[in-house]
Amino acid sequence: MNKSSLDRILQSQGVGTRKWCRQLIEAGEVSVHGEIVTDYKRSFETSGLRFRLFDEDWEYREFVYLALNKPPDVECSRKPSHRPGVMSLLPEEFSWRGVQAIGRLDHDTTGLLLLTDDGSFNHAMSSPKRHVPKLYLATTQDPVTPALVEHLLKGVQLSDEPAPLAALRCEPRGTHQVEIVIEQGKYHQVKRMLAAAGNHCAALQRIAVGRLTLESLALQEGEWRYLDTAELALLSTEAA
């Protein structure tokens, strides 16, 4: 069993500072199992715990795992410099919890972005040793040719890389779009690979990580939701 005092529980869920959580409890703003609790020291079993705050129901989560359909002109940094940050698209409690993006998408790249406050999970998903494939849909300035596809599959040399980088899979989608699967996640990798292969990336969308697809999540741009256990299991090293 994992029990904790009510003020610590609220703080862990991103309600606010410990002091603020205590004030809310003492003011009678928090109920657990239908009972208003005013003693912030009172302990509860966290597994399956639900509480109510400001007429809103909360479910205790040790960690959160989120999927966001990132819109354009949004930065993934927690301290954005020139544009709004992705945290501005999420409820405030996630900032209090320390939620961070797993890897980054460029400000003009859209699509599937994963976020969590589970540091171990974030590290494992970001590690090059994990080899998690990511599927991108790139819109190109010039037509997609068989030579371009072959070049990307064989590998292109980027200026700051010791060895050529190759797409795991590369398939044309119409005259000016191509699906590209990579696993490295280097800086501006897909854009730079296309440039090195003689084309230009006009738009880029990440449409899958592992076997988890943006389509299956049914998220509009700017929308987010929690990932369940089955969806987390799709974030494997198997190709997207």
Catalytic residues: 106
Supply 229's token pair.
């256990």
The two tokens of residue 9 are: 């529980």
Q: Which amino acid is located at 5 in the chain?
A: S
Instruction: Decide if 103 contacts 166 (C-beta within 8 A).
Output: no
* CB-CB contact of 167 with 153 (8 Å): yes
Q: How many CB atoms lie within 10 A of CB 51?
A: 22
**CB neighbourhood size of 43 (10 A):** 12
Beta strands in the chain (DSSP E): 3-5, 30-32, 35-36, 43-45, 50-53, 56-59, 65-70, 100-101, 110-116, 134-140, 169-172, 177-182, 201-209, 212-213, 224-226
Tell me the C-alpha distance between 187 and 11, whole Å: 35
